[in-house]
């Protein structure tokens, strides 16, 4: 969601830096790379390292409070967001949101944008034991859809999310947002694209090729059974 469907990752970074500035700190670029795609104890560990505090939960809660206040007014969408969701719906895909965020914030953002009905299932970071780069949230989302993880696409914008999708055994597509593609992601990602529209073009072509090769029945087509798990990160 953040950084994938919604253009919100920069808002989180602004708030993290705002809080740091109030404490007389300047966050280096490495903070962004370590915090993105995390939640819970992992996020607290990153906060404690860079903010020099003993309990990162206090700062995490304050960031959430400020961000939630902004998202109650508006949630900016990524270009191509609605188009790619329409493509999946039109072709009979099941769609889930697998997210590092709390389930309440996922629901809030989807209702705010009017996109809640586009999703068959939702899984939040507060519902699993381990956050990304572990695959727990994606596996939970696939379970709620009733599909095999191997029949799933994952859309991700962060390195931690890509690693989680790959660990889940899913076809993991990266659409980078704030962080560049690192060399270790190139061989493991199913595809890397500049934006959602480019990713959609690739999937449309793949779908057509599968249809042309005789995969005409939705009931027998592994591609048509594929779930689409659109990532949402807390940070």
Q: Average pLDDT for residues 147-152, to the nearest whole number?
A: 92
Question: How are beta strands 94-99 and 227-232 bridged, if at all?
Answer: parallel
Q: What is the pLDDT of residue 227?
A: 59
Residue 192 φ then ψ, to 5°: -130, 125
pLDDT tens, residue by residue, 18-60? 999 999 999 999 998 888 878 888 899 999 999 999 999 999 9
Q: What DSSP character marks residue 195?
A: S
Look at residue 219 in the predicted model and tell me its pLDDT: 31
Say if residue 174's pLDDT is above 90: yes
Q: With the C-alpha atoms ordered 208, 210, 214, 217, is the resulting torsion angle positive or negative?
A: negative
CA distance 3 to 227: 20
Question: Which phi and psi (to 5°) does residue 52 adopt?
Answer: 60, 50
Provide the sign of the torsion angle of the four alpha carbons 107, 111, 114, 118, taken in this order: positive
pLDDT score of 226: 56
The pLDDT of residue 132 is: 85
> What pLDDT score does 51 carry?
98
Find the mean pLDDT for residues 68-81: 92
Task: Read off the pLDDT of each residue in 130-146 and give the average, rounded to a whole number.
Answer: 92
d(CA 183, CA 168): 20
**Residue 1: what pLDDT?**
66
Q: Residue 225 corresponds to which tokens in the numbers above?
A: 């059974």
- 82-93: pLDDT as tens digits: 999 999 999 889
Average confidence score pLDDT of the chain = 88
Average pLDDT over residues 199-226: 66
Render pLDDT for 186-208 as a digit per residue (tens, 0 to 9): 999 999 999 999 999 999 999 88
Beta bridge partners of 174: 156, 192
Instruction: Please give the pLDDT value at position 180.
Output: 83
CATH top-level class of 1-235: alpha beta
Question: For a pLDDT cut of 70, what percent of the chain falls above it?
Answer: 90
Can you list the pairs that 123-130 forms with residues at least 24 positions away whose Cβ atoms lie under 8 Å?
123/96, 123/97, 123/98, 123/99, 124/99, 125/39, 125/40, 125/99, 125/100, 125/101, 125/234, 126/39, 126/40, 126/102, 127/103
């Amino acid at each position: 969601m953040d950084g994938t469907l919604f253009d919100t990752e920069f808002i989180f970074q602004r708030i993290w830096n705002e809080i740091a500035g109030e404490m007389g700190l300047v966050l280096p670029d490495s903070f962004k790379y370590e915090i993105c795609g995390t939640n819970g104890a992992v996020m607290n560990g990153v906060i404690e390292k860079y903010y020099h505090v003993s309990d990162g939960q206090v700062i995490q809660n304050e960031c959430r409070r400020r961000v939630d206040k902004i998202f109650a007014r508006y949630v900016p969408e990524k270009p191509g967001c609605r188009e790619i969701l329409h493509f999946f719906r039109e072709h009979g895909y099941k769609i889930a949101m697998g997210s590092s965020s709390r389930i309440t914030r996922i629901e809030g953002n989807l209702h705010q944008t009017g996109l809640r009905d586009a999703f068959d299932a939702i899984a939040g970071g507060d519902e699993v034991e381990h956050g990304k780069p572990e695959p727990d949230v994606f596996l939970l989302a696939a379970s709620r859809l009733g599909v095999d993880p191997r029949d799933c696409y994952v859309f991700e914008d962060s390195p931690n999310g890509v690693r989680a999708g790959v660990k889940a055994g899913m076809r993991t597509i990266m659409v980078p947002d704030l962080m560049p593609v690192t060399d270790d992601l190139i061989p493991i990602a199913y595809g890397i694209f500049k934006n959602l529209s480019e990713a959609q073009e690739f999937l449309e072509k793949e779908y057509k090729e599968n249809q042309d090769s005789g995969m005409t029945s939705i009931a027998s087509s592994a591609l048509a059974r594929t779930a689409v798990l659109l990532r949402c990160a807390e940070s």
